[in-house]
Structure 1
């Protein structure tokens, strides 16, 4: 027994965290990494896109960055099998005794590789079913084909997992009903958690009224609906600001750079692109907007906005509807409906006092649901 108290023990000493982005490890896993490291665990942080800044940030958390090849868009079977085999070999070389994978592809590849390597403790967290399960009721042949393949792969990988973490009841129904994972090993979390001290209550912004969308620039995130609603609003009120914060994405449904540039050039939106820390951008906005029909888990960006005390406009859609008590801390709107989205925006423009009252309600809900220390404790207890 080491110096750590028994209630702080975890059943592993060398943990591999597998993600599809180094950025997500720095921004979304930092509190979890620090907590696990504090318990005497050596953490290896796997990501495919390290560069000097993200590598330094992960090292500052006490983890060891490990690069591995992964393409979010690739569908080459030979290439994908090679990635799994290389992961298996790396797990064995590092002698890890537990693997915790996040997001769909890492869950599939990390889970299978860990099983092949004979690693006894395998954990998975699915933060939304993602692109292949998205569409808002409209499916292409490609998406239907991919869904069939991914469903089988997820069923295989989750079968190897000792514990599966999900973020909403819809995903529980999706993954458990077709027996992708046994219900007894599934934990549904209220979110991945937010540092409520860092994302503290910020002042309400009523002049100028500013609507902000923070997201990967994919059409399923509702970018086109946000822009269409902005046109409707600005046709009646030229003084309202619209911000889109997010970088260009290498993805089948990415919004083309030329279109974003056109919206900026005509003065419809402001677009700072990808930013390392979205906090200041959300703090200086009035209302957070996410008109998504992407198959979300529970959007971290919305959790952060609520913690900062911002009202929310989002869709009555999987993973999004959980963040809003309609009429209390914001408004729910139908998917793919810019007119309804604009109408919700006008409610804040016409009654700016709602920005303060609904923002305060958002903060209250965040304190009740999203405290990262509470969620990390739940996760570690489940491990």
Structure 2
């Protein structure tokens, strides 16, 4: 069987779909990836994946560029004739579904969150809804990563119940993300991993950090890509001032996420909405307490008071209150929160659950016994 993965970056496949790709390769299936070239292309090729490089303006709204992207996928589908295509991210979902319609290639879409275009009202968001309405008419199946997103989409786009499902995010490799022995935390080291854009709650995180600027019991680290060209990016001056004032330690990137998370005590995500955030799954798998917002996607990974605490989105004071609550706990209480995090992902977010759901869906679509 030939399986095509389509995404906006090779990094997306490397970081989020590793287990799924290796599952297919281990069965002797041929895997091709359609994505722009980046520093992770070579890693995919080392796995035995054949990468077909296509350019994509993932955040732009130029119709000429988007039509060109559709044309490239269409051409590749006609030439390669994959048995099934698995698409990820907004533009890949839309244009893969349309290309699949004209080439008779079945496409399974994965909606990993609403994305910034849906969180900010405006013309682009309305256009995205219209394109999704058109494209999902031709998708063979659509996976969502939480019930809220599924309900939102199915309220505006008619999709039959037998064509939609809910995945537990991208899942997590529990053997790869194995927790280390609990250590006493002095200071309590907080970690946020995300793109540095407004909707991820980076301003609230920085504001909370400023509240504790004279408190040596807690420290704040932020890791994530800063792209000032992104329409929802914070400013360079803001990021510089947070570091200059000593509120936050900032790093744009790390290839050692497991080591970084293990070296911190709490994982924080003040996002306004998510699919099922990978960073929270990684943190929970490594037995870290979680602080995150009470919004779709995030609250699925936290039972309030059991493995962490939920706080109000867009509200730095609410985050501050939960940090103070964490600081009031003793080591044994925080250790128990971490143990509960690990147990929760073992029960609900094992990547083998995701792999089985894809396997079953593919077999049903292409008629394998």
Secondary structure class of the residue paired with 1:46: strand
Moved more, 359-368 or 67-76: 67-76
Following TM superposition, by how much is the alpha carbon of 1:180 offset from its aligned partner in structure 2, in angstroms? Answer: 4.1
In 1, the alpha carbon distance for the partners of 2:48 and 2:299 equals 36
Matched, 1:163 2:141: yes
Alignment partner, residue 107 of structure 2: 122
Matched, 1:34 2:19: no
Relative to 1, partners in 2 of residues 1:269 and 1:203: Cα closer, same or farther, differing over 3 Å?
Answer: farther
CA contact (8 A) 1:155 1:181 kept: no
Alignment partner, residue 54 of structure 2: 68
Aligned with 2:343 (options 346, 364, 367): 364
Secondary structure class of the residue paired with 2:296: coil
Alignment partner, residue 10 of structure 1: none
Matched, 1:81 2:81: no
* Cα-to-partner distance string for 1:195-242 (whole Å, 9 max, x where unaligned): 10111122334122101000011111000000101111234x134210
Q: What's the RMSD between the two structures over aligned residues? A: 1.4
Alignment partner, residue 130 of structure 2: 152
Aligned with 1:376 (options 338, 355, 364): 355
CA contact (8 A) 1:204 1:286 kept: no
Following TM superposition, by how much is the alpha carbon of 1:268 offset from its aligned partner in structure 2, in angstroms? Answer: 1.2
CA contact (8 A) 1:59 1:65 kept: yes
CA contact (8 A) 2:213 2:246 kept: no
Alignment partner, residue 206 of structure 2: 227
Secondary structure class of the residue paired with 2:356: helix
CA contact (8 A) 1:43 1:63 kept: yes
Query: Runs of 5+ in structure 1 lacking a partner?
Result: 1-12
Alignment partner, residue 197 of structure 2: 218
CA contact (8 A) 1:312 1:331 kept: yes
Query: Runs of 5+ in structure 2 lacking a partner?
Result: 363-369
1:241-260 mapped onto 2 (5 Å cutoff): 241-249=219-227, 250-260=229-239
In 1, the alpha carbon distance for the partners of 2:250 and 2:239 equals 8
CA contact (8 A) 2:274 2:298 kept: yes
CA contact (8 A) 1:30 1:61 kept: no
- What's the TM-score, normalizing by structure 1? 0.90
CA contact (8 A) 1:209 1:241 kept: yes
CA contact (8 A) 2:190 2:221 kept: yes
Following TM superposition, by how much is the alpha carbon of 1:261 offset from its aligned partner in structure 2, in angstroms? Answer: 2.3
CA contact (8 A) 1:225 1:336 kept: yes
Secondary structure class of the residue paired with 1:99: strand
Aligned with 1:349 (options 323, 327, 338): 327
Matched, 1:238 2:245: no
Aligned with 2:12 (options 18, 24, 38): 24
Secondary structure class of the residue paired with 2:112: coil
In 2, the alpha carbon distance for the partners of 1:106 and 1:279 equals 28
CA contact (8 A) 1:313 1:331 kept: yes
Secondary structure class of the residue paired with 2:212: helix
- What's the TM-score, normalizing by structure 2? 0.94
Aligned with 1:132 (options 117, 122, 126): 117
CA contact (8 A) 1:210 1:241 kept: yes
Across the two proteins, how many residue pairs are aligned to each other? 359
CA contact (8 A) 1:156 1:180 kept: no
